[in-house]
A = this chain, B = another copy of it.
Amino acid sequence: MNSQALSPPVKRIADSTVRRLSIYLRFLEEFEGRGLSTVSSEELARRGGTTSAQVRKDLSFFGSFGKRGLGYSVPELSTSLREILGLGRGWRVVIIGAGKIGAALAQYRGFRQRGFQIVAAYDSNAEKIGGTLEGIEIRDMHRFEADVEKDHPEIAVLAVPMEHAQAVLDRVARAGIKAVLNFAPVQLHAPADMTVKTVNMAMELEGLTFALTNQGV
C-alpha cells in the first residue's frame, strides 16, 4: 500500500506506519530526557522491534531526515514527528458514555501528557447527568449537537453499549466531528471523510492467545 510513495505530498500512509511513528516519538522523547543529541536508525529500529530499513522508509514518506553516518538529531526529529502526528497543538475531546470505560478514560494520564483535553462527557441516563466524571461535567446527550456547534470538539470517544454505538456514531458524524475512538466491540459504518479507530480489547487478547497457541512464533 505504501511501498511506492517516497516523498510528500503525504498520502495513503498505512496505520502501521503511523503507529511506528508514535513509537519512535516515545523513544526520542526518552532520549531527549536523557540529554542525547543524536540517534541512529539502527537504534530506533532495535528499540522499536523493527529494521533500520523500515525506520528510514517510514520517515522518508514525510521528507528528508538525518545525515548518512551521523544519524538523526533527536530534538529535530522529535519536533518533526510531533508535527506530523498533529501533536503541535491541543485537541478537544468529548467522551460519550459516562460508564466505567468513560471513567477510566477521563482519568487516563496518558491523554493529558499528550495535550488531549477532555472538554465534556455525555450520557443519556438521568441519574448520571449533572454529575461529574473525574471532575468533568456529565451533560445530557440531548445537548450534544448544540454543544458541538459551540465548543467545536475535534475528537469523540465512544464508550457506549455496543447496541447503541452505531446510532451514536451517526449523530457524531452529523454533528460534524471527523474523528472517533470507539470502544464498543462492534464494527461501525462511518462516512468516508471520517476516521474511526476501534479499540477492541478482545482482539488485543486474541493477539496474545495466538502467541500462546503458536509458541515459538
Residues of A near any B CB (own CB < 8 A)? 10-13, 15-16, 18-19, 21-23, 26-27, 47, 84-87, 91, 93, 99-101, 103-105, 107-111, 113-114, 116, 154-155, 162, 178-181, 185, 187, 195, 197, 199-214, 216-217
Contacts and interface: CB of A to CB of B under 8 A. Distances in A.
Contact of A22 (B19, B91, B206, B217): B206
A117 to B, nearest CB: 11
A104 B100 CA distance: 5
B19 A205 contact: no
20 contacts: A12-B217, A85-B209, A86-B210, A86-B214, A87-B209, A101-B108, A103-B104, A108-B201, A108-B202, A110-B185, A110-B200, A155-B205, A178-B211, A179-B211, A181-B201, A181-B205, A195-B207, A195-B211, A197-B204, A199-B204
A217 B12 CA distance: 5
Contact of A217 (B13, B162, B179, B201): B13
Contacts of A47: 187
A5 to B, nearest CB: 11
A181 B204 contact: yes
A202 B113 contact: yes
Number of identical protomers: 2
Contacts of A100: 100, 103-104, 107
A178 to B, nearest CB: 6
Contact of A206 (B104, B105, B114, B208): B114
Given A12-B217, A18-B210, A85-B213, 8 more contacts: A10-B214, A21-B210, A85-B206, A87-B206, A87-B209, A99-B104, A108-B185, A114-B202
Contacts of A213: 84-86
Contact of A162 (B109, B195, B202): B109
A113 B162 CA distance: 13
A145 to B, nearest CB: 20
B11 A210 contact: no
